[in-house]
A = this chain, B = another copy of it.
Amino acid sequence: MNKSEILEAYSFRHACKRFDPAKEVSREDIEFILETGRLSPSSFGLEPWKFVVLQNKEIREKLLPVSWGAQGQLPTASYFVIALARKPAEMTANSDYIQSLWKDTRKLPPEVLEKLTANYHRFLESDFELLGNERAMFEWASRQVYIALGNMMTSAALIGIDSCPIEGFDKNKAEAILREEGVLKGDSFGIACMVAFGYRESEPRAKTRRAADDVIEWVH
């Protein structure tokens, strides 16, 4: 694929605060975008995410008062996605989720499964000091969600669709609303972030970034 075309998509992408309510993203396009989220890599292949496509108007309206960063996007986005991260109890090595993922989805043979479980447990205990730190565990799952988040926004930009990542919401209050509405069930997931898709209503300001020399360092 052509590098300059890809870079054009990066300059096309911006945090679009309001979408054109008259221009609807097609179902085929949003499914493509979500598919690139689903196919994203994650630590140990754990896919600790769920993407809730919130098309219900009433629930979007209920989120408005607790989501200062989504005031323009909640009412105008063709698709409004709540990106969920899996909670700590389901991310431990012997949790049903992880064991079933490795056994049923990955179809690992018993001896590989056993070794991977042990390695993964050791990783949680030592490398990043995650085990026993609930907040760090949730954040670590959220890191993986952000890989998918980045990919979905880039995929959208590559086919000329705008997006906006949103962290400007009260996590506890937004989760309470989604629980009341039956969107969050059980205790498997918390909100990592939100991301809206649509077509821009107006042109953004020019993009600014720190210089390459400030963010890239070569060690020879």
Measuring CB to CB, which residues of chain A are less than 8 angstroms from any residue of chain B? 1, 3, 5-7, 9-11, 13, 15, 29, 32, 34-41, 43, 45, 47, 49-56, 59, 101, 105-107, 123, 126-129, 133, 135-136, 139-140, 142-151, 153-155, 158-159, 165, 167-171, 183, 192, 207-210, 212, 215-220
Contacts and interface: CB of A to CB of B under 8 A. Distances in A.
Contact of A1 (B13, B123, B140, B159): B159
Contacts of A147: 146-147, 149-150, 153, 165
Contact of A107 (B154, B168, B208): B208
A192 B168 CA distance: 23
**What are the 9 closest A-B residue pairs judged by CB atoms, nearest first?**
A139-B139, A147-B150, A150-B150, A10-B39, A146-B146, A143-B146, A1-B158, A3-B32, A150-B151
Given A144-B146, A148-B150, A153-B41, A216 B53 contact: yes
Given A150-B150, A208-B106, A41 B219 contact: no
A40 B153 CA distance: 10
Contacts of A143: 139, 142-143, 145-146, 192
B215 A123 contact: no
Contacts of A208: 45, 105-107
A25 to B, nearest CB: 13
